[in-house]
């Protein structure tokens, strides 16, 4: 776990225009001073991320929101009060403090308050906002440990703050709060059901939107192996057929089939708890990559609670070639 001296060093790196990998409750982020266009641009270079793909600005508390956006509608204020710190990102009109480099050239900005003691301590020590997409190569599996960051980005990061494994394991929920009717642009760590309970109204979930946000690329969160989505009852048969045809097959075995014997290169048991599944999802994808799989067969969980976010990540990992 990061020490006070580590946090102070990381804050100094940010002030000097460097990049810091920081832990959050969702995934590890690759952070830069949100008000330094040169430092922000370096994030895109290190990740290989298109410059039109917006970043999320992390701030230290809901009381700072007005400093970073043009206006805060009542709905956004309500959501911030209920879910911050936490895995919720609000898209609002950009304040002049935010450079266009951080928003992909848009007049909207994505903002959140992370729920991790190390991240909050860094934001306090730094005294400003930190842009921080996931600390991995663009489109690939997000990191949930400091070791994942070091293995993937190496010297591209000036300092890595180790805050232990991430508790949530999937990225934040992104809500478009710019209009009269809010909508979910990316399912994540705050469930649709929880948002609807606070707002007292149903929320639409949009796979694409007029507002560009992180995580809407057709292929995202993807391992080196190709992910193939099939119905739960077909996972074993489809995997074994591909294995017989010469593929090195990895299988996400659903809870209902935990005791099944599978002839495959590698098998990962899916937890019955959606919280545990979300926390371990990216680690399982990395594990099957490391075991040399070239195909990973998986099925989608029920799209309720965190299952909606997990299904979203698996679809993006599979990309346009979603099913067999």
- Token pair for residue 169? 């394991």
Given a cut of 90, whether residue 221 has pLDDT beyond it is: no
Q: Residue 310, SS3?
A: helix
Lowest mean pLDDT among 18-27, 85-94, 221-230, 313-322: 313-322
Quickly state the pLDDT bin for 275 (edges 50, 70, 90): very high
User: Can you give the pLDDT at residue 322?
Assistant: 43
Please write the tens of the pLDDT for every residue from 34-62.
Answer: 999 999 999 999 999 999 999 999 999 99
Please write the tens of the pLDDT for every residue from 146-163.
Answer: 999 999 999 999 999 999
Alpha-carbon separation of residue 279 from 167, 171, 173, 201, 285 (angstroms):
6, 10, 15, 28, 12
Express as a percent the part of the chain with pLDDT over 70: 94
Angle at 309 between CA 239 and CA 172, to 5 degrees: 135
Q: For residues 86 and 231, what is the distance between their CA atoms, to the nearest angstrom?
A: 33
Average pLDDT, the chain: 93
Q: Which of left, alpha, beta for 68 (phi over 0: left; psi -120 to 50: alpha)?
A: alpha
Q: Confirm if 173 and 190 have CB atoms less than 8 A apart.
A: yes
Given a cut of 50, whether residue 324 has pLDDT beyond it is: no
Quickly state the pLDDT bin for 180 (edges 50, 70, 90): confident
Closest listed residue to residue 134, CA positions, set 168, 85, 96, 107: 168
């Amino acid at each position: 776990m990061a020490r006070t001296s580590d946090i102070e060093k990381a804050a100094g790196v940010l002030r000097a225009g460097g990049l810091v990998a920081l832990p959050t409750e969702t995934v590890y982020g690759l952070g830069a001073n949100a008000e330094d266009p040169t430092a922000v641009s370096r994030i895109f270079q290190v990740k290989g991320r298109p410059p039109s793909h917006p970043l999320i600005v992390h701030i230290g508390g809901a009381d700072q929101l007005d400093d970073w956006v043009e206006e805060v509608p009542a709905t956004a204020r309500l959501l911030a009060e209920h879910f911050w710190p936490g895995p919720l990102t609000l898209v609002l009109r950009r304040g002049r403090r935010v450079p266009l480099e951080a928003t992909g050239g848009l007049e909207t900005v994505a903002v959140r308050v992370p729920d991790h003691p190390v991240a909050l301590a860094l934001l306090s020590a730094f005294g400003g906002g930190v842009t921080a997409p996931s600390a991995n190569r663009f489109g690939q599996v997000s990191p949930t440990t400091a070791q994942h960051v070091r293995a993937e980005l190496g010297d591209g990061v000036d300092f890595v703050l180790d805050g232990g494994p991430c508790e949530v394991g999937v990225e934040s929920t992104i809500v478009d709060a710019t209009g009269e009717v809010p909508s979910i642009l990316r399912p994540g760590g705050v469930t649709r059901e929880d948002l609807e309970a606070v707002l007292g109204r149903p929320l639409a979930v949009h796979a694409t939107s007029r507002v560009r946000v992180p995580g809407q690329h057709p292929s995202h969160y993807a391992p080196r192996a190709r992910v193939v989505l099939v119905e739960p009852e077909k996972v074993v048969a489809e995997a074994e057929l591909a294995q017989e045809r010469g593929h090195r097959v990895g299988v996400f075995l659903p809870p209902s089939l935990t005791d099944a014997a599978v002839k495959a290169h590698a098998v990962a048991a899916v937890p019955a708890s959606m919280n545990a599944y979300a926390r371990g999802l990216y680690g399982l994808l990395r594990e099957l990559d490391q075991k040399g799989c070239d195909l990973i067969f998986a099925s989608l969980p029920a799209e309720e609670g965190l299952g909606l976010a997990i299904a979203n990540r698996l679809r993006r990992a599979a990309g346009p070639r979603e099913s067999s």
